[in-house]
Amino acid sequence: MSRSVHRTAAGTSAPLDGEARPRLAAGVTFEQTDEDRWITMLHGVPSSRVSGAVVALLSSMDGETMLRDLHLRFAASDPPPAFLALVQRFRDCGLLDDAHRTPPGRVSFRPPFTVQFATMHAPTIFARLSGRAGPPSLMRLALPIGILLCAGLLAAALQAHDIRQVLTSPLPLTELMVLVAVLACLTLFHECAHGITLTRFGGSPRRAGFMLIYLAPAFFVDVTDGWRLGERRQRVAVALAGPAVHGAVGAAAALAALATPLAEADRMLLLLSLSCAGIVVVNLIPFVRFDGYLALMSALDEPNLRDRAMHDARHALARMLFGGARADRRLDRWWGVPFGIASIVTPVVLVLVAVARIADALAGGGPVWGLVTVALGTTVTSVGIVIVVRGLGRVLRAGVSPLRFGLVTAALAAAVIAAGAVTPVSLSATYGFVTERDRVVLVQAGEAPRAEIAAGAAVALTTNGILAHERIGAGTAAPRAPRSIEVPVDALLPVLAGDAMTEAVIVADVEVRAEDRDAVVSGRARVDLGTRNLWQALWAKGVEAPLSPLLSDK
């Protein structure tokens, strides 16, 4: 037998058994933090916190000693499957020489939707930013921030009406550009807060840079060195330092909006406050590798919490559906499997919501934006298919019955297809609308309607808000021959561009109810196209509607 762990023909590591002779990876070192707590370091990057017994076990993995001997020496009271599962965890963390895991460098990819571009000079940068001041007092920082957040929530509650108006109205283009620039700067300060807090507590950020995470651009700072901090509350403080920046700025903006008499400034401050609040809420979701997850992991002192929980959840689901041997849990918590399932589902939901919001905002933008929408949807769908196929491949390689695997997979696929075929979905198409010669008309960028509009179809007229839409009227559609027209930009996109006009095409008239005629000028229209099944609706919304202006131009 080889003196290292066998590998399969595909290049992946073979299952562990008692005769395997694992070897500790060359890049693994250990650093003691207190009497019986150590940090495992992989190529100088903290991997996890472990006990002295685990360090002794790992240090004995020399490529010569069989696992059965290590079992008798270090964990004779544990059943062999439990010991093998522990060693498998070491392999999954990249601590054994067959793992082939290298630390992230200047460019790295983290499945499913994160790409990072980093500088390796972060330690020097944050050492200069933090200065020579001593460690921060958590109580001195937490108390004023808590008071500021409470005051900001009260100010927001007092301005609920103004907030609704801001959400449901288009935003001037100049203000939108300023808001994007401010939020970009805040994201930078958010990440700097992580790095500075870690440095002040005695740690050292290894990498920092720019990334695309779940289709959104952002900055980042690698604070895995926080595992070296001896106190959990310090590690939690490092994780929450970033959200604290956005929370404090959002609260201050809400208070400033309450005090300012200028309508334009009030609108900008409220939108900034809402944006910061949304960022804080998303950041605190514990089921994605955001700050809330890092804070929870640090508070529980459970390294790789999410990965271990998802592993347990995948095995539980696979066993329930496909059978197979029972796997020992990697996370010894009663809520581990539900947490793992939520960690699998939440990123999918976030991506789908992001794609839906982007597609909704660009629905009236014309051929180019339609192509962007389809490309975005195609990318997300392709990645999703790859993830599902890889997951099924792992299940099949785990030793389940091929017959049961095939039958269950076919049954699940048939159930999904059938459910989509019988699930009714109310389909609608989004257009802009303007008033032309005392008559309301539906308009779009491009030459042909994105969908066939039936005579008498119900039309809901709303504002074209930056984040929401308020109903201002209703009517019925009357199709007509397309005709070119110039319309305000906010009839097609949720932005105001002064007196600027853009070319569009009239695709239908709208018979507006008499009581709504005085309130209707321009905005967004949603036309009822009837009911279709789920698959037809997805195809119509995700492909036909966005591409029809592009195809009509050819």
Distance of CA 399 to the CA centre of its chain: 33
Q: What is the mean pLDDT of residues 56-75?
A: 87
> 342 pLDDT exceeds 90?
yes
Distance of CA 262 to the CA centre of its chain: 36
Among 482, 488, 549, 498, CA closest to 523: 488
Residue 221 buriedness (CB in 10 A; 0-12 / 13-18 / 19+): buried
When pLDDT is cut at 50, 70 and 90, the band that residue 245 belongs to is very high
Residues 218 and 188: their CA atoms lie apart, in Å, by 8
349-374, pLDDT tens digit by residue?
888 887 777 776 666 566 777 787 78
Cis, bond preceding 338 (omega within 30 deg of 0): no
With the CA atoms of 378, 380, 385 and 388 taken in that order, what torsion angle do they form, in degrees rounded to the nearest 10? -170
> 10 pLDDT exceeds 50?
no
Which pTM value belongs to this model?
Answer: 0.75
258-301, pLDDT tens digit by residue?
988 777 788 889 999 999 999 999 999 999 988 999 999 889 88
> 345 pLDDT exceeds 70?
yes
Cβ atoms 166, 270 nearer than 8 A: yes
What CA–CA distances, in Å, run from 153 to 60, 252, 408, 495? 56, 10, 50, 27
* Residue 147 sits in the same domain as residue 294: yes
Residues facing residue 23 across a β-bridge: 62
Cβ atoms 155, 244 nearer than 8 A: no
pLDDT of residue 9: 37
Domain end marker among 404, 422, 440: 422
135-164, pLDDT tens digit by residue?
666 667 788 899 999 999 999 999 999 999
- Residue 94: which CATH number? 3.90.930
Determine if residue 100 is left, alpha or beta; phi over 0 gives left, psi from -120 to 50 gives alpha, anything else beta: left
- Answer with the residue of higher pLDDT: 544 or 381: 381
Distance of CA 263 to the CA centre of its chain: 34
DSSP 3-state assignment of 132? Answer: coil
> 6 pLDDT exceeds 50?
no
Among 226, 227, 255, CA closest to 241: 226
Number of residues in the chain: 554
* Residue 315 sits in the same domain as residue 326: yes
* Residue 58 sits in the same domain as residue 166: no
Please list, in sequence order, all residues whose beta carbon lies within 8 angstroms of the beta carbon of residue 321, skipping any fewer than 6 positions away: 408, 412
175-234, pLDDT tens digit by residue?
889 998 999 899 999 999 998 888 888 888 888 888 877 566 778 888 877 877 878 888
Give the total number of structural domains in the chain. Answer: 4
* Residue 119 sits in the same domain as residue 261: yes
Residues facing residue 440 across a β-bridge: 435, 510
* Residue 429 sits in the same domain as residue 490: yes
* Residue 250 sits in the same domain as residue 156: yes
Cβ atoms 54, 8 nearer than 8 A: no
Please list, in sequence order, all residues whose beta carbon lies within 8 angstroms of the beta carbon of residue 504, skipping any fewer than 6 positions away: 432, 443, 444, 445, 484, 485, 486, 487, 491, 492
Q: pLDDT above 90 covers what percent of the chain?
A: 18
Domain end marker among 261, 281, 300: 300
* Residue 139 sits in the same domain as residue 42: no
Among 185, 153, 142, 171, CA closest to 252: 153
* Residue 6 sits in the same domain as residue 120: no
Here the tokens at position 18 are 């008692």
Among 219, 262, 260, CA closest to 242: 219
* Residue 136 sits in the same domain as residue 69: no
Domain range for 201 = 108-300
pLDDT of residue 99: 52
Q: What is the mean pLDDT of residues 2-27?
A: 61
Q: What is the mean pLDDT of residues 522-543?
A: 86
* Residue 7 sits in the same domain as residue 31: yes
Cβ atoms 49, 37 nearer than 8 A: yes
Residues 352 and 359: their CA atoms lie apart, in Å, by 10
Residue 328 buriedness (CB in 10 A; 0-12 / 13-18 / 19+): middle
- Residue 429: which CATH number? 2.40.30
The DSSP result for 210-237, as a single string, is EEEETTEEEEEE--GGGGG-S-HHHHHH
313-338, pLDDT tens digit by residue?
888 888 888 886 777 777 888 898 99
Residues 54 and 60: their CA atoms lie apart, in Å, by 10
DSSP 3-state assignment of 449? Answer: coil
Type of residue numbered 153: L
* Residue 113 sits in the same domain as residue 97: no
Distance of CA 439 to the CA centre of its chain: 44
Cβ atoms 464, 493 nearer than 8 A: yes
* Residue 245 sits in the same domain as residue 149: yes
Q: Which of 73-77, 93-97, 419-423: highest mean pLDDT? A: 419-423
Among 129, 114, 355, CA closest to 220: 114
Distance of CA 453 to the CA centre of its chain: 36
Domain end marker among 102, 128, 146: 102
pLDDT of residue 11: 38
Among 28, 58, 23, CA closest to 43: 28
**Measured on CA atoms in the order 246, 250, 251, 256, is the torsion positive or negative?**
positive
Secondary structure letter of residue 540 according to DSSP: I
Type of residue numbered 194: H
Type of residue numbered 164: R
When pLDDT is cut at 50, 70 and 90, the band that residue 416 belongs to is very high
> 448 pLDDT exceeds 80?
no
- Answer with the residue of higher pLDDT: 231 or 415: 415
Among 449, 452, 443, CA closest to 493: 443
Q: SS3 breakdown of the chain: % helix, strand, coil, rounded to 5? A: 50, 20, 30
